[in-house]
Structure 1
Amino acid sequence: MIILMAVTVSSFAQSKEEAAVAAAVENFRKLLIDPKEADLNAATSKALSYGHSNGLVEDQQVFAASLISGKFNFESIEQTEQTITVTGDAAIVRHVFKATTHDAGKDLGTANLKVLQVWQKQSGKWVLIARQAVKIVS
């Protein structure tokens, strides 16, 4: 009986953490479309490593500035096929990322990517510490 209760509590805690990570990922998706510097900084680690599909890697400060300035501008983002794996205070999130973009000085475009995100629970809150994207080649 005690073992069954321990397994049940453990499963519930993991489901609760996965839901919290999913909420953080959704909040981050919305921030990519409507960026606010303070909110971006709160959602990401000061040690952020944000890797784009073209090989560019930005830290937290440059990443936020790129979105705020419109260098990278997302009109819409759809994330599908999402998986979340929580291990202790870390979470690995994978999804397909399809977006309509309108980056500064460019025409409307699209992004069709596979994304890996690494989240860490810091001070009771999930923050993005790393992200890497690769283009989906058909």
Structure 2
Amino acid sequence: MKKILCFFVFFSSLTLVSYAQSGDEKQVTAAVETFKKAMISRDKNLLESITADELSYGHSSGKVEDKTAFVNGVLNDPIHFNEIDLQDQTIRLAGNTAIVRHAFNAKTTNNGKPGEVKIRNLLIWQKQKGQWKLLARQAFKVPVP
């Protein structure tokens, strides 16, 4: 009987851990979507609430910004994101950290002229006080074959 009870407790704990991880993955996915919407809408409050104070935001050009510079850039840059399509997204959890990778394809307007952005991103999310915050992002260009 003790073996059965131990097996049941062990199996239940594995199920709870698995459930918690899938719950965190869902929360990270939702945070990425919120971040995407904040970039399109240029919502300052949303941008500030979804990013960590320690944010390090790397552009595909090599430019790196802190949180203040990033938010001001989204609000004041002549490039506006009209649509953002994220593809091939993967999420790996490591404690209170999530590693997200995806292809970032966007339709933009730059001073009234339509354009496109096709890059890949690595995002590091950290769970702070129960909320997933973007801690770091590095974009990079994909070589054209």
Does TM, scored on the shorter chain, surpass 0.5? yes
TM-score (norm 1): 0.94
SS in 2 for 1:64: helix
For 1:6, the equivalent position in structure 2 comes to: 13
TM-score (norm 2): 0.90
Structure with greater Cα Rg: 2
For 2:121, the equivalent position in structure 1 comes to: 115
Q: 2:42 aligns with which of 35, 38, 41?
A: 35
For 1:69, the equivalent position in structure 2 comes to: 76
Rounded to whole Å, the distance in 2 between the matches of 1:60 and 1:72 is 18
Q: Give unmatched runs, 5+ long, in structure 1.
A: none
Rounded to whole Å, the distance in 1 between the matches of 2:79 and 2:55 is 17
What percentage of residue pairs aligned between the two structures are identical? Answer: 40
2:99 paired with 1:89: no
Closer, same or farther in 2 for the Cα pair 1:92/1:55, shift >3 Å?
A: same
**1:17-45 Cα shifts (integer Å, max 9, x gaps):** 00000000000011111111111111001
The amino acid that maps onto 2:16 is: V
For 1:23, the equivalent position in structure 2 comes to: 30
Alignment length (residue pairs): 137
Q: Give unmatched runs, 5+ long, in structure 2.
A: 1-7
Rounded to whole Å, the distance in 2 between the matches of 1:111 and 1:58 is 19
Q: 2:109 aligns with which of 102, 111, 121?
A: 102
